[in-house]
């Protein structure tokens, strides 16, 4: 791709490699394209998940503080 800026190498399990290869074969795409798409979508999901987790922790701490003062 013309706008590629970085090259990343990572080790994955044979099972994950097989899943990527299977998706690539079924959809007539390269394994690199499947991996890039999975990373892009996964980053979006992970970002929202971590954001929600942080918010939950903050709210839980606030709840504990309020309960402590009510006693």
Which residues lie closer than 8 Å to 12 by C-beta, 6 or more apart?
20
**In the block, which residue shows the tokens 């090259």?**
7
Tokens of 17: 């490699």
Q: What is the DSSP letter of 28?
A: T
Whether pTM > 0.85 for this model: the answer is no
Torsion of CA 22, 25, 27, 31, to 10 degrees: 80
- Distance between CA atoms of residues 64 and 70, nearest Å: 10
pLDDT, tens digit, for every residue of 16-57?
A: 999 999 999 999 999 999 999 999 999 999 999 999 999 999
Beta carbons of 20 and 34 less than 8 angstroms apart: yes
């Amino acid at each position: 791709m013309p706008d590629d800026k970085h090259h990343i190498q990572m080790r994955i399990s044979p099972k994950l490699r097989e899943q990527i290869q299977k998706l690539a074969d079924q959809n007539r795409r390269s394994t690199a394209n499947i991996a890039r798409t999975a990373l892009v979508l996964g980053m979006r999901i992970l970002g929202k998940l971590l954001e929600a987790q942080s918010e939950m922790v903050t709210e839980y701490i606030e709840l504990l503080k309020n309960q402590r003062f009510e006693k």
